[in-house]
A and B are shown apart, each in its own frame.
Chain A
Amino acid sequence: MTISPSERAKTAVLLRRDSEKIAGSLPPLLAEAERLAFTVAMGVHGRKRAGIGENFWQYRRAMPGDVQTAVDWRRSGRSDEMYIREMEWEAAQTVSIWADDAAAMDYKGPKAPRTKRDRAVLLALALSVLLVKAGERVALLGTNAAQPRTGENQLQRMAMALAEENPDRLDYGVPPMARYAVSGRAVFLSDFMGARDDVFPALTHAADRNVAGCFVQIVDDTEEVFPFDGRTIFQSVGGTVEFETQRAKALREAYQERLAERREALEVMARRTGWRCLVHRTSESPRKALLWLYMAIGGLK
């Protein structure tokens, strides 16, 4: 099935509207930006540190070694000491977002409102809206919006990219081994249900690039509860993996144990690399996850 460009544009507009709707209820990311610490590029974010910037930070006494041009004479004239006027260090940040577009993300349980993919896309875009409003640069990994940019255009591009249907996608998503901006941020939205050997190296790759970030594991309720019974053949959404059981109910506990194991592994890895983890269920409100992301991106070291 092909989707006509006009429909795609329409989907993109709707997607955008939804995203802005949930982003609109949050204060601009700017308010939180003061808590950001480091940056590599000049931006509009105060880093609560003295550095290169435009806003006044503090006066401090001149120390031996300070260049004379740095002395603020107006302040120094009022006392015997020499004072140096320091400005606040400001930085713009690059946030790379990966929204898993694998077939497994298209799953939707019988009672769930939307698929996992829908939720991932929504969160990605909403976060982007916030970031762009705050003047950050965002990139959508694995798409043609992978180049970090800021501004409305980037949002448009991202929305188009997210609405795009990828014909040859995988059954389970693997984070792309992208080139990350140094000391950037990364947000991975996926169910992380793929084979361990595929998923984890990609995650460590990001950490290796000195990129801090968040894993958001988006799951459907049925994936947690496993409400199945009877003789069943389970297939992956793409149909590549198959498993047959005589009594599905009997496997529930083993399955839940394995799910917990997988999460534990994610957590452990996140702890080691300084990332953070969130399990988000599609039955929950997306706002919760967005807020968490908003706090997490702002609060990462």
Chain B
Amino acid sequence: MLTVGPIAFLAPLLLVTLAILPVLWWLLRAVPPAPAKRAFPGVRLLLGLLDPERMPEKTPWWLLLLRMVALAAAILAFANPILNPETQSRGTGPLVVLMDGGWASAPRWAARQARVEDVLDQAARAGRPTALVSLSAGVPAGEGLPFRDAQDWMTRVTGLQPEAWAPDRAAFGEWLDAADVDGFETIWLTDGLESEGDTAFLAALQAKGSVTVIRDDADPMALTAPRFEDGAVRAEILRQNGTIRPSVRVAALGPDPNGIERVLGETRVIFEGEGTATYVVLDLPIELRNRVTRLVLPEHRSAGGVVLTDDGLKRRKVGILAGGTEEETTRLVSPLFYISKALETSADLIEAPLTDIISAAPDVIVLADIGTFAEPEREALETWVDSGGLLIRFAGPRLARSGEGQLEEDPLLPVRLRAGGRAVGGTMSWGAPKQLRAFPEASPFFGLRLPDDVSVSSQVMAQPDPNLPERVIAALEDGTPLVTGRAEGDGRVVLFHVTANADWSNLPLSGLFVEMLERLAVSTRARVPDAEALEGQTWVPVSVLDGFGALQEPSLLAGVEGARLAEARPGPDMPPGIYEAGEQRYALNLYRTGDSIAPLGDLPLGVTVEEMGVVAETVLKPWLLAAALMILLVDIIATLWLGGRLTGPRVVKGGTIALLALGLGVLGAPSAEAQEGDDAAVLYGTSETVLAYVETGDAEVDAISRAGLSGLSRVLTRRTAIEPAEPVAVNLENDEIAFYPFLYWPISERQAVPSDAAYGRLNAYLRSGGMILFDTKDANLGGRLGAGTPNGRMLQRLAAKLDVPPLEPAPDDHVLTRTFYLLQDFPGRFAGREIWVEAMPDIEEVEGMPFRNLNDGVTPVIIGANDWAGAWAEDARGNPMLPVGRGTGGARQREMAYRFGVNLIMHVMTGNYKSDQVHVPALLERLGN
């Protein structure tokens, strides 16, 4: 290797060939080639002529120089020059490359890989045995470190992926202490985060040999597990150092109603001052919040920047039940109407008998005006409340009458009730309906705004007793309790002293009712499951995070014991992700509330520290070769120019074509010609009445279509006021079809199904009044349309995406039978009777005449199988192209086909005009009167 400044040559011997450049210089200067000898009788006429121009006998110096430079560049290229060669050579002996390889390494993983490759490359050049160990992958299996040729490791570096958890350095340190490994040099690519046992780890490394730490200045960030507080999703963002940095984006992801994952909420968070942790609060509508599956830091792609949510964010199950459901009440006075309205957006409602509700294990049960329970029901309900259920009850006539909880405290009622209730503001009572008092601070409703118009006219009364005040969570302005609540076991019982419908108060009609229910429901958020709750179950991972924070299918992972899930940190055998046991789901996140991350502490003496950034070696060979080629290209052009061959008619033409082709290729612009062609087609289509047919790509079919429409156009011109111009072919993919009133679409098996864009245009065309005549041209041999024949099946495929209205066989009195000629049937080359048109909505008899109450639209599609174009087709001299029938019958059939065509185009052009003609007698009669 020869080094010149920042450039090193790997094959310096080749540079010797630079010495031959002067020789080449001399050779290339040589005179032009020897002349050709020709026998030519006309030579006598040439005698005495002078050469007007002379071939240059010597190559101009600059051209020579150009060639020399090209050659020199090629020689230099093959000498394998390298810019910024890595020249520092480390020691000898075995080398261990340690990578942290945890989530914090993910943000700059590519750079790490590059650096590792770099290190391995040098080790390979020095021929050192090397071991590459990822600290996140667990301690190495077996006795010693996996020493191998560095070249072997090189091939595996690109396949390395960061893990979703933090590296376990302590474990490696311990293993190293215990293992029987000879001394080695260590290069440790750290992610810069502190972990427990770093000191011991480094000590263990240093015991084996010199240690080089390659630090990264990246600033990894992590999110802690989200939780609900004050009605919002809260999580903490952790970082390791307190430098000032721009705001951090946090996004909540989850499926939209269609199941497609979207960003449901987003916010930006700024670290205040030099803090290393800050809260992120995502205030989402409850419908969105229910769907959030994870929070991510989109700008920091790593497993640390993703936290998953589990059951905690799922929709709650609410069982609702009312007394007297058999009553024939209308829906608005149903006791459950307002409750279900208030809850249905945010909860899964279960409306069933009580035992069924309980067995569905709801989070909340709402009972509206239920007085007494059967004994098994009561027991089940009490057990359920004890184990953490929230029971919300509403009062009502039935509860008041039942006497429940009046004599002794009922576990299913928060307070004792007084017999009877009270009614205020009624016709038979004193006083006005009572309004609500502001919610006390201890109440879960605290902070809710009280609307002025909420009033209570009837309620059940609580028996005053010493415990009553602490159980009141909402009261009327005169102090009587309106909502009372009490903890019962792990659960809670809440009573609204009014009905759940508007009988006793208009509370259920107000927005406050919804908010109150929501507060109550929120306050029953599933607890953070503790070890006890998780214990005894085996949790199976359903989806796990990879190092970059993407969810993956778990593979080769065993279930995890519940207790471990609650206590241990994620690791190789327990990656962060969603775990499932039975119906429950548990999200294992990297960091929990209250965790923090810190930078790697001070390194002990004797440790070399390097930075990540490396100036990459640049191999100059390809560039030099490219330069040499470019110069040779210039040389070709210059030589041509010198020889006068860049000008002259032929060359100019070829050159122009080449330049044009190049220009078109480079620009990729739609050619002007196509544009003009389009314009011409548009002008033609809009300035004339033009019949159009769909190009099927089947040349024969297309030719018949064109000839058929030409023939029909001629007949129309001859017989009617419609004088169409020559028909045009329409390519559905490229052409605009909006200009043509009528499209003839012969079905050919060989045609391609149009693209979605083309279908978009076709549907717009049909909706805006265009008509398409589908013609399967097979005489409908397969029986029902679109069933038996290949063309029929093709038609089905083509029409699948078309916005075709319901169809029916054309009835006898369809307007098509009388728009110009009076027709009975619609023959083409085949005399099949049946054609399908848009189904008529209804038929009214108007003064004895059938009258179709149509909008002004023409039927958007007509489907038939009679090969009309074949019958219409005429050649240039007006002779029919295809035979129809036999003898005079055939001639008659062809004439009928033309008549059908005339009627069809008339129908297209005049809409339901002829249909309206049935009114003419009636109108005339009225005018006469």
A: residues with CB less than 8 A from B are: 104-105, 107, 116, 172, 191, 193-195, 220, 222-223, 226, 228, 230-237, 241-247, 250-251, 254-255, 258-259, 262
Q: Which residues B22-41 have CB closer than 8 A to chain A?
A: 32-41
Knowing that A232-B38, A259-B42 touch, tell me 12 more A-B residue pairs with CB under 8 angstroms. Answer: A193-B41, A193-B45, A223-B40, A223-B42, A231-B33, A232-B35, A241-B47, A243-B43, A243-B46, A243-B49, A245-B46, A254-B49
* CB closest chain-A residue, reference B41: A104
The residues of A that contact B34 with a CB separation of less than 8 Å are 231
B51 interfacial contact with A, CB 8 Å: yes
* Docked complex: B3-35 residues within 8 A CB-CB of A: 32-35
Residues of chain B in range 121-144 having any CB-CB distance to chain A below 8 Å: none
In the complex, which residues of chain B have a beta carbon less than 8 angstroms from the beta carbon of A194?
44
A231, B45: Cβ atoms closer than 8 Å: no
Asked whether A243 lies within 8 Å of B47 as measured between CB atoms, the reply is yes
A242–B43 touching, CB < 8 Å = yes
Is the CB of B259 closer than 8 A to any CB of chain A?
no
Task: Report how far A223 CA is from B44 CA in the complex, Å.
Answer: 11
Q: Contact check: which of A104, A222, A233, A250 meets B36 at CB < 8 Å?
A: A233
Q: Give the contact stretch, choosing among B52-60, B411-419, B717-725.
A: B52-60
| List of B residues within 8 angstroms of A193 by Cβ | 41-42, 44-45
Contact A250 B51 (CB under 8 A): yes
**A220 to B420, alpha carbons, bound, how many Å?**
135
Kindly list chain A residues whose C-beta atoms are within 8 Å of the C-beta of B43.
234-236, 241-243
Q: Are A234 and B38 in contact (CB under 8 A)?
A: yes
Chain A residues whose CB sits within 8 angstroms of the CB of B35 once the complex forms: 230-233, 244
Docked-complex contact A247 and B36, CB < 8 angstroms: no
Question: Please, how many angstroms separate the alpha-carbon atoms of A255 and B32 in the complex?
Answer: 24
A231-B33, A233-B35, A244-B35 are contacts. A250–B40 as well, Cβ < 8 Å?
Answer: no
Whose C-beta in chain A lies nearest to the C-beta of B54?
Answer: A246
A231 to B34, CA, bound (A): 8
The answer to whether A259 and B36 have CB atoms under 8 Å apart is: no
With a CB–CB cut-off of 8 A, which chain A residues contact B49?
Answer: 243, 245, 251, 254-255, 258
Which residue among B34, B38, B42, B54 has the maximum number of chain A CB atoms within 10 Å of its CB?
B42
- Are B41 and A236 neighbours in the complex by a CB distance under 8 Å? yes
Q: Are B41 and A107 in contact (CB under 8 A)?
A: yes
Taking a contact as CB atoms closer than 8 A, the residue among B46, B51, B53 that contacts A234 in the complex is B46
Given contacts A193-B41, A243-B43, A243-B47, contact A231 B52 (CB under 8 A): no
| Inter-chain contact A226/B55, CB cutoff 8 Å | no
CB-CB under 8 A from A104, the residues of chain B are 41
Size bracket of the B interface: 20 to 34
B48 nearest CB across to chain A (Å): 9
A250 to B32, CA, bound (A): 17
A195: chain B residues at CB < 8 Å are 44
Pick from B40, B47, B55 the residue with the most CB of A within 10 Å: B40
Q: Which of A223, A242, A247 contacts B51 (CB 8 A)?
A: A247
**Interface CB pairs A-B, < 8 A, 13:** A105-B41, A193-B45, A228-B38, A228-B40, A231-B34, A232-B37, A233-B35, A241-B43, A243-B47, A243-B49, A245-B49, A247-B51, A254-B49
Kindly state the separation between the CA atoms of A222 and B52 in the bound complex, as whole angstroms: 21
Contacts of B55 in A (CB 8 A): 231, 246-247
A254 to B49, CA, bound (A): 7
| A233 CA / B37 CA spacing, docked (Å) | 5
Known: A243-B47, A245-B46. A235 touches B52 (CB 8 A): no
Kindly identify which residue among A116, A233, A246, A251 contacts B38, using a CB–CB cutoff of 8 Å. Answer: A233
Report Cα–Cα, A235/B41, bound state, in Å: 7
Contact of A107 among B40, B45, B46 (CB under 8 A): B40
Q: Classify the interface of chain A: helix, strand, loop or mixed.
A: mixed
CA distance A116 to B52 in the complex (A): 31
Contact A258–B45 (Cβ < 8 Å): yes
A260, closest chain B residue (CB): B45
List the B side residues contacting A262 at CB < 8 Å.
Answer: 45
* Contact (A236, B36) CB under 8 Å given A247-B55, A250-B51, A254-B49: no
CA–CA, A233 and B55, complex, Å: 14
Q: How far is the CB of A11 from chain B (nearest CB, A)?
A: 23
Question: Which 9 A-B pairs have CB atoms at the shortest separation, nearest pair first?
Answer: A231-B35, A104-B41, A258-B45, A234-B43, A234-B40, A246-B51, A107-B41, A223-B42, A243-B46
Q: Which residues on A sit within 8 Å (CB–CB) of B32?
A: 231
- Kindly identify, within residues 51 to 77 of chain B, every residue whose CB is under 8 Å from any CB belonging to chain A: 51-55
Contacts of A220 in B (CB 8 A): 41
Contacts of B47 in A (CB 8 A): 241, 243
Q: What distance in Å separates the Cβ of B468 from its nearest Cβ neighbour in chain A?
A: 120
The smallest beta-carbon distance between A115 and chain B, in angstroms, is 10
On chain B, the residues within 8 Å of A243 by CB distance are 43, 46-47, 49
Please, which residues of chain A bring their CB within 8 A of the CB of B36? 230-233
Name the residue on B nearest A230 (C-beta): B36
Query: Considering the chains assembled together, what is the distance between the CA atoms of A105 and B41 in angstroms?
Result: 8
Known: A107-B39, A228-B38, A244-B35. A236 touches B44 (CB 8 A): yes
> What separation, in Å, do the CA atoms of A236 and B42 have in the docked complex?
7
In the complex, what distance in Å separates the CA atom of A236 from the CA atom of B55? 24
How far apart are the CA atoms of A262 and B45 in the complex, in Å?
A: 9
Determine if A235 and B42 form an interchain contact, defined as CB atoms under 8 angstroms apart.
no
Contact B45 A191 (CB under 8 A): no
Docked CA distance A223–B40 (Å): 8
Are B44 and A235 in touch, CB under 8 angstroms?
Answer: no
Give the nearest-CB partner of B52 in chain A. A250
Contacts of B45 in A (CB 8 A): 193, 255, 258-259, 262
A241–B36 Cα gap in the complex (Å)? 16
**Cα of A104 to Cα of B46 in the assembled complex, Å:** 15
Contacts of B38 in A (CB 8 A): 228, 232-235
Q: With A230-B36, A243-B46 as given contacts, are A237 and B54 in contact (CB-CB < 8 Å)?
A: no
Task: List, in ascending order, chain B residues with CB within 8 A of A251's CB.
Answer: 46, 49, 51-52
Cβ contacts B169-187/A at 8 Å (1 or 0 each): 0000000000000000000
What is the chain A residue whose CB lies nearest that of B36?
A: A232
Docked complex Cα distance between A262 and B42 (Å): 11
* Bound CA span A63–B43, Å: 65
A116 CB → nearest B CB, Å: 8
Least distance between A92 CB and chain B CB atoms (Å): 37
CA distance A105 to B52 in the complex (A): 30
Given the interface pairs A193-B42, A195-B44, the reply to whether A235 lies near B54 with Cβ below 8 Å is no
Which residues of B lie under 8 Å from residue A116 when comparing CB positions? Answer: 41
**Chain B nearest CB: distance from A64 CB in Å?**
64
A247 to B46, CA, bound (A): 13
User: Once the chains are docked, how many angstroms separate the CA of A193 from the CA of B45?
Assistant: 8
Min Cβ gap B56→A in Å is 10
Measured CB to CB, the nearest residue on chain B to A107 is B41
Chain A residues within an 8 Å CB radius of B54: 246-247
